[in-house]
Amino acid sequence: MSSRNWLVRIQDILDSTCTIRDCTAGLSFETFCENKVIVKAVLYDYMIIGEASKHIPEDRKKRYPEIPWLLMGDMRNVVTHEYFQVRLKLIWQGINNDIPLRTPQQTGN
């Protein structure tokens, strides 16, 4: 088991959400799908988010029930184990609906 602190894992999640936002800012769904480099970068960051989320202590997850912890892990599993049938439309919806526009650090909370 990794000895990385769960707070470092939270930072990994935040960094990956920022990378996803930065890579997809201003793109249409069609442009996103056509750019395989961006698609692969986004999928990689989804894997990081999901893996990191699995290492957050349960008591911390319970303090923030509005965060889709289970969905994060599920997305990681799909991207990792079902890579051959990832539906980019679902990934795109996740980018636009589940990836926060601003992190709590950016809003001062």
Look up the domain containing 15 and give its range: 6-103
Question: Is 108 a member of any domain?
Answer: no
Closest CA to 91 of 70, 102, 75: 75
**Residue with the larger pLDDT of the pair 107 and 15:** 15
Question: Is 64 a member of any domain?
Answer: yes
Write down how long the chain is.
109
Question: Is 60 a member of any domain?
Answer: yes
Quote the distance between the C-alpha of residue 43 and its chain's center: 8
54 near 60, Cβ under 8 Å?
Answer: no
Handedness of CA 48, 99, 17, 26 (dihedral sign): positive
| Mean pLDDT of the region 93-98 | 90
pTM of the model: 0.85
Number of domains in the chain: 1
The residues carrying an active-site annotation are 76, 81
Question: Is 39 a member of any domain?
Answer: yes
**pLDDT per residue over 71-85, tens digit each?**
999 999 999 999 888
Question: Is 42 a member of any domain?
Answer: yes
Question: Is 93 a member of any domain?
Answer: yes
Burial of 13 (0-12, 13-18, 19+ CB in 10 A): buried
Reading the block at residue 30, the tokens are 């069609």
Question: Is 109 a member of any domain?
Answer: no
Question: Is 87 a member of any domain?
Answer: yes
